[in-house]
Amino acid sequence: MITAPGCRGCGVRAALAAPALVALALLAAALSSLLIASIGGTPWFQHYRKFLGDDLYVAYLVRSFRVAAWTTLVTIVVGYAIAYTMTQASATTRRLIVMLLVLQFFSISVTRIYSIILLLGNNGAVNRSLLALGVIDAPVRLIYNEFGVVIGLVNASLPFAVFPIFSVLERVPSSLREAAYTLGARRARSFWRIVFPLSVPGVAASVVIVFLYSLGAFATPLMLGGGFVDLISVFAYEQAINFSNYGFAAAGAIVSTVLGLALVYAFTVLIERRAET
């Protein structure tokens, strides 16, 4: 590009960067089209006003954040338990769990969600087994409600929680735990006072990833919500595809993303403050 004297290697650098910059320019073009569509129309910001001024639409927002919060809570607790088990398990068990999580990570999301329908649906394996055992008289509704969406999202996001938490737990020097034991701390106390504080960075990272992932998830609420749990992503899809209402769809998706990022930012600042004190 620029081959001025004194800029040796500039041409090489430009050539290496050019393809990636084209891809990033496409990303920027897509995101700015989205922003412009959401703001545009007459009068300006009408889509945002319509979205935020109607309880029906705000309900999508509330539902999305509620589902994302539950998903994050359950995923972190269960993910922590799995990661903790991994630190104490035999090499074989640990490898097996890693394989299971990696398989989960690499499985095709649509078929993974379908498998959950087969497991938890009204005619699914769980309901059939409970009916056969006489535990229940009629199928229990486990999916096509918020519970089902949360279960599906937990299933999808467990790898995002286990791996970061496992890696910080693994770095906790066992001498610290032993020292606590020697000093007479009970296991629960030594966990909450020593192990857990040291694992906070891993937990915080997982919270951010899982929360943002479940807030933006689309296939899971679409398939496991069954039309009863319309989250913001499903709203955006329906507005855009069924009604060609691009601006309105964009406004809803942007409001949700910005709110989500603001929450995550506040959470990160809070964690860092606590780490400093």
Partner 1 sequence: MQSSPLPRIGRTSRALALAGCLLLILPQVVVIITSIDPNPAAIFPPHDFSLVWYGNAITRPAFREALVMSVGVASVCALVATAIGTLAALLVVRHRFSGRNVLVAALQLPMLVPEVLLGLGFLILFSRIGLRLSLVNIVVAHVVITMPFAVRVVIANLQTVSPSLEEAAQVLGASPAASFLRVTLPVIRTGIVSALIFSFIVSFDNFTVTAFLVTGRGTLPIEIYAYIRTESDPTIAAISTMMIGVSVVGIFVIDRLLGIERLSRTQAAH
Q: Which of residues 20-59 bind partner 1 (CB under 8 A)?
A: 20, 23-24, 26-27, 29-31, 33-34, 37
Residue among 217, 203, 136 at smallest CA distance from 172: 203
Of these, 51, 144, 163, 211, which contacts partner 1 (CB under 8 A)? Answer: 163
Measured distance between the N- and C-terminal CA atoms of the chain, rounded to whole angstroms: 50
Report the distance separating Cα 198 and Cα 192, nearest Å: 10
Tell me which residue has tokens 């309880």. Answer: 55
Min CB(277)–partner 1 separation in Å: 26
Q: Binding to partner 1 (CB under 8 A): which residues in 105-124? A: 106-112, 114-119, 123-124
Q: How many residues does the chain have?
A: 277
Q: Binding to partner 1 (CB under 8 A): which residues in 61-100? A: 77-82, 84-85, 95, 97-100
Cα radius of gyration rounded to whole Å, the chain? 24
Is 188:139 a contact under the CB 8 Å cutoff?
Answer: no
- Comparing CB distances to partner 1, the nearer of 213 and 273 is 213
Q: Binding to partner 1 (CB under 8 A): which residues in 215-234? A: 215-216, 218-219, 222-223, 232-233
Min CB(185)–partner 1 separation in Å: 10
Report the distance separating Cα 139 and Cα 128, nearest Å: 8
Quick check: 240 binds partner 1 (CB under 8 A)? Answer: yes
Report the distance separating Cα 103 and Cα 98, nearest Å: 8
Binding segment (CB under 8 A) for partner 1, from list 52-60, 139-147, 165-173, 266-274: 165-173
Quick check: 203 binds partner 1 (CB under 8 A)? Answer: no
Report the distance separating Cα 210 and Cα 202, nearest Å: 12
- Comparing CB distances to partner 1, the nearer of 17 and 270 is 17
